[in-house]
Amino acid sequence: AQRVTQPEKLLSVFKGAPVELKCNYSYSGSPELFWYVQYSRQRLQLLLRHISRESIKGFTADLNKGETSFHLKKPFAQEEDSAMYYCALMKTGANNLFFGTGTRLTVIP
């Protein structure tokens, strides 16, 4: 069965410092992986997906199949990055998203 693990419930970094939110997954096939973000009082929304290989708001995430990881990184954190971040996995050919427990990122001014 598929599983998404985000080991850190809370993460605090200073403004301008690098940030890395960890995500590991287990799935026997080739999944699609995503990062979703929820800012205060806003709805959950897509941040980025691994197939796009793009940088959104300075964030990047590389799929490492050997380590089954999809860590989210940003070299210089900003205060507006403070939010709840969820890693999610979609099984090949399916329409269902499975989420991790989320990491609350706080960027300290």
Tell me which residues touch another protein (CB under 8 A): 4, 32, 43-46, 49, 86, 90, 95-102
Question: What is the closest distance, in whole angstroms, from the C-beta atom of residue 28 to another protein in the complex?
Answer: 18
Q: Which is nearer to another protein, 49 or 74 (CB)?
A: 49
Q: Which is nearer to another protein, 11 or 97 (CB)?
A: 97
Q: Which is nearer to another protein, 15 or 44 (CB)?
A: 44
**Burial label, 15 (beta-carbon count in 10 A; 0-12, 13-18, 19+):** middle
Question: What is the closest distance, in whole angstroms, from the C-beta atom of residue 106 to another protein in the complex?
Answer: 18
Q: Which is nearer to another protein, 30 or 96 (CB)?
A: 96
**Cα-based distances in Å from 25 to 15, 16, 90, 107, 108:** 29, 29, 11, 26, 29
Q: Are 88 and 49 in contact (CB under 8 A)?
A: no
Torsional sign, CA 86, 20, 14, 75:
negative
SS3 4: strand
Question: What is the closest distance, in whole angstroms, from the C-beta atom of residue 51 to another protein in the complex?
Answer: 8
Question: What is the closest distance, in whole angstroms, from the C-beta atom of residue 89 to another protein in the complex?
Answer: 11
